[in-house]
Structure 1
Amino acid sequence: MAGRGSGQGRPQPGAERGPTPQSRGSIPRRQFHGSRRGSSGRFSPAGPSQPPAPELHQAMPMAPSQGSAFSIPSHEQQFQQLSIHGEASSSHGISKSMRFPQRPGIGITGSKCVVKANHFFAELPNKDLHQYDVSITPEVKRREVNRAVMRQLVNLYRMSQLGGRLPAYDGQKSLFTAGPLPFSSKSFDIVLNEEEDGGGGGGGGGGGGQRAFKVVIKFAARVNLHHLELFLAGRLTETATPQDAIRVLDIVLRELPSARYLPVGRYFYSPDLGRRHSLGEGLETFRGFYQSIRPTQMGLSLNIDMSSSAFIEPLPVIDFVTQLLNKDVSARPLSDADRVKIKKALRGVKIEVTHRGNMRRKYRIAGLTTQATRELTFPVDDRGTRKSVVQYFQETYGFNIQHTTLPCLQVGNQKRQNYLPMEVCKIIEGQKYYKKLNEKQISALLNVTCQHPQDRERDIIQTVHHNAYHNDQYAREFGIRISPSLALVDARILPAPRLKYHDTGRERDVLPRVGQWNMMNKKVINGGRVSYWACINFSRNVRNGVAHRFCQELAQMCQISGMDFAPDPILPLLSSQPEQVERALNERYSDAMKMLKPQGKELELLIAILPDNNGPLYGELKRICETDLGLISQCCLTKHVCKTGKQQYLANVALKINVKVGGRNTVLVDALMRRMPLVSDLPTIIFGADVTHPHPGEESSPSIAAVVASQDWPEVTKYAVLVGAQSHGQELIQDLFTEQKDLRGGTITGGMIKELLLSFYQATNQKPLRIIFYRDGVSEGQFFQVLVHEVQAIRKACESLEPNYQPLITFVVVQKRHHTRLFANNHADHRSIDRSGNILPGTVVDTKICHPTEFDFYLCSHAGVKGTSRPAHYHVLLDENGFTADQLQSLTNNLCYTYARCTRSVSIVPPAYYAHLAAFRARFYLLADTSDNGSTTNGASGRGARSPRGHGTAAAPASPAPVKPLPALKENVKKVMFFC
């Protein structure tokens, strides 16, 4: 919470001095609970002609009595009555007829350069494409079986019944040909052997013999490539991308890799594409590649990128279980926890039996028996005679079961259970592992996937050559030709912005070099005050003396950085076991409040020292501090506490602490000097939003939405946040705007946008006339739905504050989960790369590989650290503010230098980054109660945590399933960037 400080708060040269609200930079002291629509407030005819400039000052905590002078309803009335000259109006509606903004031209700012992109030009075929519907009976859901059926059909009938055509098949319901088949409808009878259909079916008896299928192929439509040609040339007047034509070409180019490799979505993996690496607990990596055909300015391009993913090792099941549990399973009986872990890991896994010689029948594991193998019996005749599994295997196969204390694997279905001892089963190769990896496995996988840019570029080129698209019989059949060379793309390197620090430091501003700078000789622009703090040591490997010295060093670094930080804690350091986290936190907080409450003070910060491998401790600590105690915390790992030469670490922690207690670290000089186009001229609020989804297998967990909004115009550095739970997998943010009926029949409005707009007004005494919204986590297929739902919610929130209040909106999707990579044109030219071998920060591309007509660009705003940098992709879905390419690209790049947690530019724009951090943090609030008990709600869920409503689905449910609300954030936590 910012307040007037002593001596350090001089306004900067050139900045107009103006009134500064005491609550500047904070979010509301009380949660806004909604307002009745139809309030009588209106804009008055007079008002300031120029918004006041900010005063730079030392951040100080507000006294408890402050901030209570204005209730939220009074702020809403003031919001309605506030008069602003030149009010902009947005009256555009969103309808299905609208198009996304067209590119306003190519940017010219920055130094020109050339980069290579992992896009390969694809020549549009000149063929007459036909689509046919495919029906296979009996119906099989698995694509590999369908593909096996179609391969057999083509092998048998291509030169006769199919007229020599080589069709491309999507594995489901559609077949495509380059020219018509000699029939409009025809049926075929196909027989597959067990090995051909993939074996192991749906969990049944493991095959044996043959399977018969009836295939009906029926003409459906002709595929119009002319529309695609017009679209690529920018001459198509229709709103939608001709996805049908692009999909056909994508299916054609996937046909051969699908037969050669293991297809997983748009990826292809094989044990032969690179060295395997163990991930531990029975998992290993397969090397593979991503492939997708995309419409771009240069025409169609084939996007190829390298990938590694987790697969189950093809081990004997006994060996897999031994690795999974990390112990000798024959030494002692399994515990209940062991059984649960084995069952989770093996359910759905395909295995083959090894006790029948060459007859390797295949099965899919359904579960484990509750009894040990030696206790299992089954009926052998109608008279109820039973035989033990051990006896059966010895008599029938001459196989003596050794691990009789282990459970058997259950295969088959509920009606006819089959029991297989683990030691006669082996896991089949090539099964992707979809469940959640542990931290060690994630670290090992990242080490495998992390490639130097030059190595990644080489592997991509080798993959293209290995796939030999020029010899691909399907590509030739359809007339598709792929260039073997990476695309050369014109790019520009945007200049880094100058950053302002406090005048009391020896260096008052800095110009970052290659995306980096440091805090040496600098002080934060607004230093927070921490007068009352405490420390708890949860690490057995850190002695109290070491912990005490660390806290002293950290306090000293906070002071050096420009904070008003008390040198000593108010209570002696406390040591506690990780298992006692709740008790330790409550006791320490209670002891502190006994000392401080009589003085009208509060404990302001907790420093917690954690073990390096702390399991649930971190999340539990954050949940208790932020939703129970209202306490800001900073966690430090043992490895950092104990190491020597930790000045850089301490400096970074000091930056985090400063913003957590209400300070600001740096601001853009251009923001202070009012030189930011379409930001400095009118009060502007910048939003960031993200939705995170649970891991696969966590179907009972909700998705978490987070929205942040800037609170300190014109600097746009400090952000407020709201988080909420919503239906599992739901991508649309459900609580941007809410309406409820009150007891008198009126309508009460609320929601994230309204609350954040009000908090902006409280902090700045300005009504936002421009909204810039950076939305993370949206795939291309969800663009229109997200735009319609979320922009409509923004407009309703504005309208609920004041009739005809319609600030201009620019809505930009931020994408990181794409597969475009940019490489230096000459890796030997050290002027064109950073120390990691990546392209320079600030590199922007808006030509050749971008959308044919729409407003998008790739921006690599950060310096590489390890591996190949991934540029962020920004796609504008709505632009009522009329940004030029240079204006939006420069704004986005400059904001990437204002990230609070480090002295580096970051890879995505900070408001989107903060939203992701907040959503990730909020998931910890769920972990304490995973049961289905407790109240559910579709309404407000408490202060700071919005009401409930990833892979997400964009369709807004008509009636969302009730979701348990998140615990409410405490008021003093809401006011600051606690998630940093």
Structure 2
Amino acid sequence: MSHHGSGYEYSGGRDGASRDEREGGGYHGSNPPSDSSRGAPRDYQYNDRRSQNSGPSNDSRGFGDHREADDRRGGYGYNRGGDQGYEEYRDRGSRGGDAMKYDEERRDRSHGYPSRGYGMESDRDQGGSSASRGYAPQSRGGSGDRRYGGGERGYGGGDRGYGGGDRGYGGGDRGSGSGDRGSGSGDRGYGGGDRGYGGGDRGSGSGDRGYGGGDRSYGGGDRGSGGGDRGYGGGDRGYGGGDRGSGGGDRGYSGGDRGYGGGGRGYGTPGDKPPARDYGSGRREGYGSRREGSNADYGGRNEYSGERGGGRGGGRGGGRGGGPRRSVALGEGIGDLRGSGYESIGEPVMDPRLIDDWQGKNPPHEVSDEDPDIDRNFLITLRANYNTIGKTVPIQSNHFSVTLNVTPETEVFKYHVAIERSPDGKYGGADAKATVEEDKDVQMSDAIKQEQGIPEKVFEVRPLRKSLVRMILNELIRQNEEKFGGVRVVHDGMSSIYAPEKLAWDEETFKNVNPDGPKLGQEGKGRPPPTFDVKIKLVEAIPFCTLSDYYSDPEVNVMPILQALDVAARHLGAQRLIGVGRNFFSMKKTHPLKGGKELCWGYHQSFRLARDRLLLNVDTAATVFYAPGPLLDIVTAALNVRDIRDTRHVDQKSLKSLTRALRRIEIVPTHRSDRKRTINGISPEPADSTFEEIKGQKMSIVEYFSARYNITLKYPHLPLVNLGRKNRPNWMPIELCQVAPGQRCSNINDLDTAEIIRQTSKKPAERMRNILDQLQQAGYENDPFMKAFGLKVDPNMITYDARLLEAPEVQFSNVSERPFNGAWNLRDKRLVDGATLLSWGVVVEANVPKHTLQRFLDTLCDVGCKSGLNIETRNPVVIESQEYRAPIEELMVICAKESANKFGTQAQLIMVVKRDGNVGSYGDIKRVSDTVLGIPSQCVLSKNLSKGPQYCANVCLKINMKLSGKNWVLKNQFPLLSTAPTILIGADVEHPRSGMNSRPSIASVVASLDRYASRYVARVAAQKASDSIHGLPLMLRDLLLAYYQSTGRKPDHIIYYRDGVSDGQYYNILQTEMKAIRKACKMMEEDYLPPVTFIVVNKRHHVRVSSKAREICDRNGNMIPGVIIDTEICDPHRFDFYLYGHAGIQGTSAPAHYTVLFDENKLSADDIHTLTYNLGYMFARCTRSVSVVPPVYYAHLAAFRARFFLNELSDGTSTIGSDNSKASNYDFSHVHEKVSNRMYFI
């Protein structure tokens, strides 16, 4: 389940490669955080397939929006001065597969790589540079904007860059093959320009602020999407070793200047925060490696490192770096890889009667929900064994051991609470009664309606606020201490009270409880506050022994005792601080945000039953609150004006935005003494046009406040807020409202997100220190309530062993490479299946000089041909907005028609040069291309056109996948997937951001189409808000048909990865979606029941890890990819594990948490761990491993793209989810059939 802008608590730091992924370690949110402390409910049933010999491995236990082209990376070019070098470069690129032969011919003529190798033009604006040390003495490379591919210390021609920069690859004095002190070429370093290739100017990748928006799920961050401050892979001027360089050679072959493989200010790739927009290359993770490797030219790793490491590459070693000597072995390529890979594996469908079914010619088979294969109970799988592969490494995590000072016979007593308004009708009238039902919000009873004969439609049921219920219970306990006999009871703020010993009575009623205290309620003017009657009744005694019993019997329900202990541990914090989910926040220290909001810090806590002990998970957290003050501050920000006086009229669009921004905010009127009131809407007309009949006289609100309170409204043109009910409004001018303190804000925009990331991102060491400080401030050791329940928390974090998995080998057509720290590069590598691009066009929305556009297109074609993307047409149709002066949608239609006329076939691709990263026009472009034209589109930003070959290479990666090519595959075989026809499925449900409840949720399901887990297809649908996927059977059937169409086989196995499921939803989601999978299979043929492995992935948790072992940490202290935890902090019975699949960018990275709920394929822990980890290297739009498996990542990207397919209706007619109770005012445009089986969403 993904959320955008929902204001989840940020736990600080952004993950690398993600959404954090929600992307990142940058900040993490919860919705609220999943209840990791809870064990298996009573209705959990387990399928125990553990072997007797499978013991533990240790003794002790335990999504924002990215822009494709905002990539700040450099290029491919070989250095050479002037136009001659550029022409030679183009000549080489045009030879396609013969380019290597061309290199050999030139080498023979010059006895090695010429010191003035191929290069870009010397003009500083072209992203290229001149020969040795720059054609122009002052330039040291190409483009002066100091960005990637022309940027400062960039790759493709940037200042000191690779493909054309001073000290670059194929040229420059001190070159290779003949140059002084060099190997391979380039002044001081083979592939690495000064300060490295992989570095774009402050970030790479695209889209600002993340994949899915902030906790917003996976990704994106400040200064670029998915990218950390000053670049991802490159880190702060070098990664894996020494300051400004590691492992670099002594002016040797691959030692980049000041960079271990990412060079200065890093190019590498950013993190796996899913770009929501595809401007150009998408994420910074792309074409080169990040921090690793000294091959500064491609951001790659040093292939032959020099003795002294790092430093400015070049012989004598690098003064500013250090690190072990390391080399990269390149293996053989796989050649051109066509087809699905299953041509020789598995038998195709032979029965002629079934072929039409699998080709989709026949309608789906009718399947009853009562079919015994569907109407059954699916048992949750137990852990079969533990990981046995990889290297054992020491770590510590933010968990603290909890000691229970109780006997096995000790019990906790639970009492149920029911609250009613006092029957004498004090401040309530018809609303005089409300009852709290167990595990539900407090709601008003129907009894009063029946007693007074009030019609059902007139009586509006309103729940009591949780904050009010907590106040009632606190005051009840305080006022009646003698009734509780000195027992330290605790409550959950809703309907339960827990006592560490039995009270003297089993049932008791307390009359006229005043939440404001016995005296406060009688003071002041106006109506007195309501009083309440509270009934308390004993419901059960919960034995502590269930905790120990659970270790021997997974059927034991530990949920009740864990809930009781959790309430006890939280009780003191709930009295002192503001509770949000499982987090507590203090208002003492805040950071102001724009628009009447402020950032507050706090901490998270939750219990987890681990392998042989109870653990307390403690983490830092941050979230946004409304700042106490004038409501006008929030209104000004919502209307997007500097001064409210600048607004003379609020149109309908602004009115909707304002309604969302003010929804459910509590205010206090300033013109009189009054209690807090909640905003329940705004008026359709301004104050001076809103009339009410008061005492028989019709007057405007402006006139009323002037006559009644002698107040002249300053802003009569603004609408009013409704403090009453919908059918009985109570209008209040906005200028007379003050925002009440202590209210969490869920309406967070992109600017807020960027500032939150800046404030919360902390390196692991600092974060761990902050956690220990929070532990001390929480005062667990002096907590009388925890002591009463026998709880004692160890003040030290637990330490234990994890394992480090080996990275798989990434294979291209001509070569293979084993990534280092999750990164590899594309230097001299050809795609395994390059698509052919013949018919295409370019729509220029921005004001771009023609020569700049032509230079970009020439470079794109050159780079594409060199890397294996066959761009046969170098002169596409160009449609400029200045010429046609039409909306972007019309320009795309014109471009498609002219491309078809010019090339005699439908356009395969429409490229759009955008003037900026505006979300609205981006959505229009994608909606037209994906749902109207059926032609893939590729957006690039005008400011990126001069970035050079590296930028173009990243664009080519995306174009190739959109045209059904393959970029690379893994040399290592996948468990199961490589040996038998197996379909990988990823599923996700993305919900609208908070305050936009009328918008539907988007369900997305994707599936693999080959043996290599390279190509995928997606199905998306709009539905009413729900965590389950409503139309899943038909969506899965479509995916099975697409799989058969691609492979000619039906899947023998299904592996299903599901995102967005919390612990408490495991059982229900498993039952619902396994039935849907079974139904989809039987829709294909009656007896088709392939075995299924069902895995849930979650990144919205608070587990953070650090280590003193340098070999598993990057320079920031984050875990390197491949660290896996399946012992100490994992459930004693569930088959779960934590996996670092990516390298962190900024802050403290978080592992992905995987739980295997169902496994008919009988995969071992090693198989599932290897499959899951290796899949992370197959994300097609970056040369980095990512934090979650690509099936889930792609599902999130497809869901985000589908948001643009929603069209708001004007007549209020519901077209989505007719079986739901709430109408939706949106229509959903379906994906065009011509792109439905392509990766249009990447």
Deviation at 1:475, TM superposition (A): 0.7
The equivalent residue for 2:1018 is: 721
CA distance in 2, matches of 1:859, 1:215: 48
Query: What one-letter code is carried by the residue in structure 2 that aligns with 1:627?
Result: T
CA distance in 2, matches of 1:928, 1:319: 29
The equivalent residue for 1:144 is: 467
**TM-score, normalization by structure 2:** 0.64
After superposition, the Cα gap between the structure-2 partners of 1:752 and 1:537, relative to the gap in structure 1 and judged at 3 Å, is same
Contact 2:998 2:1224 in 1 (8 A): no
The equivalent residue for 1:260 is: 576
Deviation at 1:97, TM superposition (A): 6.6
**Which of 835, 840, 843 pairs up with 1:536?**
843
CA distance in 2, matches of 1:584, 1:107: 56
**Which of 747, 752, 756 pairs up with 1:445?**
756
Q: Secondary structure at the match of 1:120?
A: strand
Is 1:575 equivalent to 2:886 in the alignment? no
Q: Secondary structure at the match of 1:476?
A: helix
Could you report, residue by residue, the CA deviation over 1:174-225 in whole angstroms, capped at 9, with x for unpaired residues?
11100111001111124426589999xxxxx997534322111111111132
**Which of 1179, 1200, 1204 pairs up with 1:899?**
1179
Could you report, residue by residue, the CA deviation over 1:896-916 in whole angstroms, capped at 9, with x for unpaired residues?
111100000000011111111
The equivalent residue for 2:542 is: 223
The equivalent residue for 2:872 is: 566
After superposition, the Cα gap between the structure-2 partners of 1:884 and 1:307, relative to the gap in structure 1 and judged at 3 Å, is same
User: When the two structures are aligned, how many residues end up with a matched partner?
Assistant: 847
CA distance in 2, matches of 1:907, 1:216: 50
CA distance in 2, matches of 1:570, 1:7: 23
The equivalent residue for 2:632 is: 318
Deviation at 1:264, TM superposition (A): 1.7
The equivalent residue for 2:134 is: none
Contact 2:484 2:504 in 1 (8 A): yes
After superposition, the Cα gap between the structure-2 partners of 1:346 and 1:689, relative to the gap in structure 1 and judged at 3 Å, is closer
Query: What one-letter code is carried by the residue in structure 2 that aligns with 1:524?
Result: L
The equivalent residue for 1:429 is: 741
Contact 2:1122 2:1141 in 1 (8 A): yes
Matches within 5 A, 1:38-49: none
Deviation at 1:348, TM superposition (A): 2.2
In structure 2, the gaps of 5 or more residues are 1-95, 99-332, 341-349, 361-370, 422-433, 435-441, 443-463
CA distance in 2, matches of 1:153, 1:194: 11
Contact 1:154 1:166 in 2 (8 A): no
Give the CA RMSD over aligned residues. 3.4
The equivalent residue for 2:321 is: none
The equivalent residue for 2:489 is: 167
Contact 1:899 1:905 in 2 (8 A): yes
Deviation at 1:99, TM superposition (A): 4.0
CA distance in 2, matches of 1:894, 1:853: 25
The equivalent residue for 2:968 is: 666
After superposition, the Cα gap between the structure-2 partners of 1:96 and 1:962, relative to the gap in structure 1 and judged at 3 Å, is farther
CA distance in 1, matches of 2:774, 2:520: 26
Contact 1:351 1:362 in 2 (8 A): yes
Matches within 5 A, 1:851-870: 851-870=1131-1150
Is 1:923 equivalent to 2:1203 in the alignment? yes
Identity of counterpart residues, as a percentage?
34
Is 1:510 equivalent to 2:821 in the alignment? no
Deviation at 1:313, TM superposition (A): 2.0
Deviation at 1:392, TM superposition (A): 6.5
After superposition, the Cα gap between the structure-2 partners of 1:330 and 1:918, relative to the gap in structure 1 and judged at 3 Å, is closer
Query: What one-letter code is carried by the residue in structure 2 that aligns with 1:305?
Result: D
Contact 2:1206 2:1226 in 1 (8 A): no
Is 1:734 equivalent to 2:1030 in the alignment? yes
Matches within 5 A, 1:149-548: 149-158=472-481, 160-192=482-514, 194=516, 209-231=528-550, 234-238=551-555, 241-272=557-588, 274-278=589-593, 280-325=594-639, 326-331=641-646, 333-337=648-652, 338-356=654-672, 359=673, 361-369=675-683, 372-373=686-687, 381=695, 384=696, 401-413=713-725, 418-435=730-747, 437-503=748-814, 508-540=815-847, 542-548=848-854
**TM-score, normalization by structure 1:** 0.80
Query: What one-letter code is carried by the residue in structure 2 that aligns with 1:718?
Result: R
Matches within 5 A, 1:432-831: 432-435=744-747, 437-503=748-814, 508-540=815-847, 542-566=848-872, 568-575=874-881, 580-597=887-904, 601-642=905-946, 644=947, 646-671=948-973, 676-713=974-1011, 715-726=1012-1023, 728-737=1024-1033, 751-823=1034-1106, 825-826=1107-1108, 830-831=1110-1111
Q: Secondary structure at the match of 1:897?
A: helix
After superposition, the Cα gap between the structure-2 partners of 1:391 and 1:965, relative to the gap in structure 1 and judged at 3 Å, is closer
In structure 1, the gaps of 5 or more residues are 1-5, 9-53, 62-69, 81-90, 200-204, 738-750, 939-948, 950-956
Q: Secondary structure at the match of 1:517?
A: coil
Could you report, residue by residue, the CA deviation over 1:309-361 in whole angstroms, capped at 9, with x for unpaired residues?
222221212344334432322355232244444343224222223345xx464
After superposition, the Cα gap between the structure-2 partners of 1:927 and 1:448, relative to the gap in structure 1 and judged at 3 Å, is farther
**Greater strand content:** 1
Could you report, residue by residue, the CA deviation over 1:860-914 in whole angstroms, capped at 9, with x for unpaired residues?
0101111211111111111122211111111111111111000000000111111
Query: What one-letter code is carried by the residue in structure 2 that aligns with 1:805?
Result: Y
CA distance in 1, matches of 2:682, 2:1224: 33
Is 1:879 equivalent to 2:1177 in the alignment? no
Could you report, residue by residue, the CA deviation over 1:609-643 in whole angstroms, capped at 9, with x for unpaired residues?
2233312111211111111111111111234335x
CA distance in 2, matches of 1:387, 1:530: 69
Contact 1:725 1:964 in 2 (8 A): no
Query: What one-letter code is carried by the residue in structure 1 that aligns with 2:930?
Result: E
CA distance in 1, matches of 2:545, 2:520: 39
Query: What one-letter code is carried by the residue in structure 1 that aligns with 2:531?
Result: A
Q: Secondary structure at the match of 1:330?
A: helix
Query: What one-letter code is carried by the residue in structure 2 that aligns with 1:968?
Result: H
After superposition, the Cα gap between the structure-2 partners of 1:178 and 1:60, relative to the gap in structure 1 and judged at 3 Å, is closer
Contact 2:663 2:995 in 1 (8 A): no
After superposition, the Cα gap between the structure-2 partners of 1:694 and 1:104, relative to the gap in structure 1 and judged at 3 Å, is same
Contact 2:1209 2:1226 in 1 (8 A): no
Q: Secondary structure at the match of 1:852?
A: coil
Deviation at 1:684, TM superposition (A): 1.9
Could you report, residue by residue, the CA deviation over 1:651-708 in whole angstroms, capped at 9, with x for unpaired residues?
222111111111111111123xxxx333333222222222222223333333222222
CA distance in 1, matches of 2:655, 2:627: 20
Query: What one-letter code is carried by the residue in structure 1 that aligns with 2:1121?
Result: P
After superposition, the Cα gap between the structure-2 partners of 1:372 and 1:857, relative to the gap in structure 1 and judged at 3 Å, is closer
After superposition, the Cα gap between the structure-2 partners of 1:198 and 1:732, relative to the gap in structure 1 and judged at 3 Å, is farther
Contact 1:620 1:928 in 2 (8 A): no
Query: What one-letter code is carried by the residue in structure 1 that aligns with 2:857?
Result: C
Query: What one-letter code is carried by the residue in structure 2 that aligns with 1:872?
Result: A
The equivalent residue for 1:133 is: 416
Deviation at 1:250, TM superposition (A): 1.3
Query: What one-letter code is carried by the residue in structure 2 that aligns with 1:787?
Result: L
**Which of 109, 112, 137 pairs up with 2:392?**
112
The equivalent residue for 2:122 is: none
After superposition, the Cα gap between the structure-2 partners of 1:768 and 1:403, relative to the gap in structure 1 and judged at 3 Å, is closer
Contact 1:704 1:919 in 2 (8 A): yes
CA distance in 2, matches of 1:961, 1:417: 23
Moved more, 518-527 or 555-564: 555-564
Moved more, 624-633 or 716-725: 716-725
Moved more, 857-866 or 913-922: 913-922
